[in-house]
Amino acid sequence: MPAEGRASRATVTRAENNSQLFAWSFTGIRTGIGLTHWKRVEESKWTHCLQQ
């Protein structure tokens, strides 16, 4: 295969690292959303108890 038709190892590694970082950013976002919803549920539970 000609050299110009192949991607260098550095390019392939860089692309893999970028996709991994992208996946981790989604994991962080989902974790943050989950914690936010968990806190809201907890607060709404106490608000409900105070109203009774």
List % helix, strand, coil for the chain (3-state, nearest 5): 90, 0, 10
Q: What pLDDT is attached to residue 28?
A: 73
Predicted pLDDT at 1:
47
Token reading at 52? 């009774």
Predicted TM-score of the model (pTM):
0.25
At 1-52, the pLDDT tens digits run: 445 666 666 666 666 666 777 777 777 777 766 666 555 555 555 665 655 5
Q: Side chain identity at 26, as an amino acid letter?
A: F
